[in-house]
Amino acid sequence: MSRPPLMIDPRVARALEAGAPVVALESTIITHGMPFPQNFETALAVEAAVREGGAQPATIAILDGGLAVGLTPEDLERLARIGSAAAKASRRDVAAVTVAGGTAGTTVATTMQIAEMVGISIFATGGIGGVHRGAEDSFDISADLVELARTQVAVVCAGAKSILDIPKTLEMLETKGVPVLGYRTDDFPAFYVRSSGEPVEYRYEEPEQIAAVIKRHFVLDGSGGVVVANPIPEAHALQTKEVATIIETAVAEAAQSGISGKDVTPYLLQHLFERTDGRSLDANIALVKNNARLAAEISVALAELRRTPPR
């Protein structure tokens, strides 16, 4: 059997053919990350931020069994209205969803997979998945980390979600040989908060410096992806202590209610939304747009480096 149909938007195809900057965007934030209409409005705003930064946005999803790279506004609205009724496709799900002719939002792992397939090197998202709290018992580790180890795509993110075990997440990234680059920060961010309390090994002040590291990493034998850690803008950040308290309470309540596995994350995020009076959603929107802007700048710099003959 052949690969699933690949549907590349003409604007994205032209940009890739010309070696112009392109930024991949995931779609689970549309289908599973926010309610309608905020999800649709955010999708449009994130694409606009990429364009303002000088790059072509390429939102990736599975539509009617095909791998879609670059969506029309109509496609985005359709996904936004379907919401969580759509599948949530990680790498393991792609074959089953496409054979069934299904529609799905793509996770970080699957967006990376499809982006690399078509030659997109830079990807903006909210936060990467990681090692879940209690993973020593549940073995709950996100496929995002495995994908980062083998797929040559740089992921611009606001770190990992506060609900994860961030020290173990960073340890696994190190074990898998994935560089973590801090953009104007010495600390690894934790999604809604600017610092997890864990350091990053490498800090850079300019997108051009990050682009140079990405370009060099990708030519090394056996290298995979790169994580670019970009803290949420200070004006939109939540307080570390507030988030930690809410999460600890929610984790305990989830355990008492028998909530486990893939159901834990949406439960904790909903808990955060309710306990912060919706401020966590505002923070989520702000950080995704911020990551899109930085990803566009890095993509522009990387495209220029690739056009420059080696000395």
- Give the residue numbers marked as catalytic: 26, 161
- C-alpha atoms less than 13 angstroms from C-alpha of 145 in its C-beta half-sphere: 21
Q: Tell me the C-alpha distance between 179 and 147, whole Å.
A: 13
The residue with tokens 């140079």 is 212
Other residues' Cβ atoms within 10 Å of the Cβ of residue 2: 4
Q: By three-state DSSP, how is residue 260 classified?
A: coil
- C-alpha atoms less than 13 angstroms from C-alpha of 72 in its C-beta half-sphere: 6
Q: By three-state DSSP, how is residue 290 classified?
A: helix
CA angle 164, 167, 172 (to 5 degrees): 90
Q: Tell me the C-alpha distance between 112 and 123, whole Å.
A: 7
Q: Are strands 22-25 and 56-63 parallel, antiparallel or unpaired?
A: parallel
Q: Tell me the C-alpha distance between 44 and 25, whole Å.
A: 11
Burial of 157 (0-12, 13-18, 19+ CB in 10 A): buried
Element (H, E) at 188: none
Alpha-carbon distances, residue 275 vs 195, 244, 264, 268, 280 (angstroms): 20, 12, 16, 10, 9
Q: Where are the beta strands (DSSP E) in 174-306?
A: 180-183, 202-204, 226-229
